[in-house]
Amino acid sequence: MRKATHPSRDIIESQGVELRGKFIVHCITGSVAAVQSPEIARLLMRHGAEVVAVFSEAAHIIIHPYLMEWATGNSVITELTGAIEHVALAGEHEEKADLILVAPATANTISKIAMGVDDTPVTSTVTTAFGTGIPIMIVPAMHASMYNHPIVRENIKKLEDLGVVFIGPRLEEGKAKIATTKEVVSAIIQKIGAKHDLDKKQFLITAGPTIEYIDPVRIVTSKSSGRMGVELAKAAYARGAKVTLVYGRGSVPPPEGVKVIPVETTQEMVDAVVAELETTKFDVAIAAAAVADWTPKQPRKEKVPTEKTATLSITFQPTPKVVDSIKKKQKTPFLVLFKAEHQVSDDELITRAYARLKTAKADLILANDVGRKGVGFDTETNELFAIDEAKEIIHIPKTSKKKIAHLILDIILKRIGKK
Ligand SMILES: Cc1cc2nc3c(=O)[nH]c(=O)nc-3n(C[C@H](O)[C@H](O)[C@H](O)COP(=O)(O)O)c2cc1C
């Protein structure tokens, strides 16, 4: 069955991609300015963001949640349930929001946040976001007399000192009016919008493990989850690149917006890569897949019966090299390789990686020791050495693969200008 798509979502990216891949939680409180919330949410979407609205109880007296459901194409959080929505949105996990926006923010909610009080879906989400370190932006709206209350001002100052960004208000007609929609969205783009430094660049990325069949039901493969390649695809796409991802059997879902070509075996990966290189001129090719290096010489056509087979000998032969097929088809892409070693010294890791860079005629090699804790296969973090052709070595200390993906793109970007 096809997945239903909310018709309101057809405006996503209609005005830009600066917020592509960004997930914004839009908290709405009981101010008349809540009437501007659909416009804010929709302009964020027009710039690529995914928006989920959260209501305080008082927000219901101004607008109906249906309006924000229509505006965002997503269900609205109006109460906290057993699904612990505040943690699902702002807790410490992979799917957490990139930004919490409180627009409009009442005097009441601002002061409660400043006091660490959480007694509405909005304040609970903000409290959770504080602990997680998610950026928080607040757009106040109230009568000037409320805004001029010294404690409200003190609380705003307190929150600013804690790193919360305030947008507006506009002081007009005796009111502290909500900032304009454009002002709010521009401030958000400036705060969390991706750099658009890869616009129109064509990226070919291989990711995930390949599998080789022993017989129709048994395989050999590697422990790769595909996460590093998927994060690279996601990051390149967010920065404006056109991305083709040739994806083996990874356990991490491929990102939205990129062209995904699913493959199983190494030969299928080579064929898919070659087919892409025949039709598209790539600026960058990143071989992040952990291909099965060997394949059974004679895979069995039928399932090997366990009852009659006490021991099983298999002769393996090397699989074709994906990287070599790239260079044969196109000389110009900036070629990036990954090299995995197991429990070697940094010096040894770098020496082996550089030798591989030379034989593969690559431009950059990213070496990691998958024997180290939290590095390499099936982890959310990685630690790498990036070594270029001139043997310039950049150490990327252990951090999330999401962050590493952007650091790798920065390194590539610096070098493609020189090629
Ligand atoms: C029609 C109406 C408009 C309101 N507008 C505002 C406003 O713009 N700013 C504000 O701080 N409070 C405003 N209030 C008061 C808040 O709704 C009230 O303080 C409420 O407790 C806020 O709860 P919340 O912060 O959990 O949303 C308004 C109340 C009503 C009934």
Out of 256-265, 376-385, 386-395, least confident range: 376-385
Structure token digits, residue 122: 């909005």
In the predicted model, is pLDDT for residue 2 greater than 70?
no
Q: What size, in residues, is the chain?
A: 419
**Fold equal for 9-192 and 202-295+312-416:** yes
pLDDT at position 4: 64
Q: Is the CB of 33 under 6 A from ligand 1?
A: yes
Domain ranges, ordered by start, for the chain: 9-192, 202-295+312-416
Q: Is the CB of 58 under 6 A from ligand 1?
A: yes
Are the beta carbons of 248 and 209 closer than 8 angstroms?
yes
Nearest atom (ligand 1) to Cα of 61? 31
pLDDT at position 365: 97
Dihedral over Cα of 210, 213, 217, 221: its sign:
negative
For residue 345, count other CB atoms closer than 10 A to its CB: 10
pLDDT at position 1: 46
CATH topology of domain 202-295+312-416: Rossmann fold (3.40.50)
Nearest atom (ligand 1) to Cα of 59? 27
CATH classification of 9-192, choosing from 3.30.390.30, 3.40.50.1950, 3.30.70.100, 3.30.300.20?
A: 3.40.50.1950
Beta-bridged to residue 386, according to DSSP, are 366, 394
Structure token digits, residue 118: 């959480």
pLDDT at position 237: 87
DSSP 116-133: T---SHHHHHHHHHHHHT
Nearest atom (ligand 1) to Cα of 110? 25
What is the pTM (predicted TM-score) of this model? Answer: 0.66
